[in-house]
Structure 1
């Protein structure tokens, strides 16, 4: 089986240190609010994935091609331009939930938000739960 050489791997960097260093102040406050929300919704402790992704839970994937690796189950990255929120693996259609979320854009497994004030955090919590349920139908989710 071919193992992946994912650049984004779990690290030993303390999440609290990472979050404390996020700038500007507004983005740091949003990151800390997201951390609290993800902890409450998932029940998982956060871990850093690479230098800038905060992940909650993890899963091991193995594709039919033989490629396999580990990835975060859900999480976020407080990027300067916008918040990136990861709802993995991106197979499901969450259009009904996204329609109620507020101002956002999407990628394959990523939700982009300019600021938390633009979205409904209760709907985001619903989306995180739905994403984890969907992920668990494809790969077993492990706590972090």
Structure 2
């Protein structure tokens, strides 16, 4: 069984942003996302792998037997755009994308250029719905809060 590459690390989140993110706007957006996601999850940010900033954690186990841990919510301030790990694609949650703003959907994330392109209220609803989903379907750190 392949080992999960995305694990929590000891790298300092602030140091990562200051050394990795080149654009002042992207740095400001990163710090705003940290503030919002900390508030919404109740967890401090941690680095997951080399470039993902995650909040809280949950344990997943697939029918194939593959299992591991992942952040409940997270984002990565990649060079071209942000990758947001905030959406649980269920029938009940699809409507949350209607008012979200400018984005592209990936297999496991939502891509945005900058925070001003999206509706922060819609982002909050999406994040909170994902936490509820994870709590109902996985062993989740959100149960401890």
CA positional deviation for 1:65: 2.2
Asked whether the 8 Å contact 1:27–1:80 carries over to 2, the reply is no
> Where does residue 52 of structure 2 map in the other structure?
53
> Where does residue 107 of structure 1 map in the other structure?
106
Alignment deviations for residues 50-94 of structure 1 (CA, whole Å, 9 cap, x no partner): 111000011111222222111111110001111110025x44142
Alignment deviations for residues 103-133 of structure 1 (CA, whole Å, 9 cap, x no partner): 1111233111111111111111111001111
TM-score, normalized by length of structure 1?
Answer: 0.90
1:40 aligns with 2:39: yes
Measured in 2, the distance between the counterparts of 1:17 and 1:77 equals 14
> Where does residue 20 of structure 1 map in the other structure?
18
Corresponding residue SS for 1:28 = helix
Alignment: residue pair count = 141
Asked whether the 8 Å contact 1:87–1:109 carries over to 2, the reply is no
> Where does residue 71 of structure 1 map in the other structure?
70
Unaligned runs of 5+ in 1: none
Corresponding residue SS for 1:101 = coil
Aligned-residue RMSD, C-alpha: 1.7
Higher fraction of strand: 1
Corresponding residue SS for 2:137 = coil
Higher relative contact order (CA 8 A, sep 6+): 1
> Where does residue 7 of structure 2 map in the other structure?
9
Measured in 2, the distance between the counterparts of 1:140 and 1:32 equals 28
Corresponding residue SS for 1:125 = helix
**Which has the larger displacement, 104-113 or 35-44?**
104-113
CA positional deviation for 1:136: 1.5
CA positional deviation for 1:97: 1.1
Unaligned runs of 5+ in 2: none
TM-score, normalized by length of structure 2?
Answer: 0.89
> Where does residue 83 of structure 1 map in the other structure?
82
Corresponding residue SS for 1:70 = strand
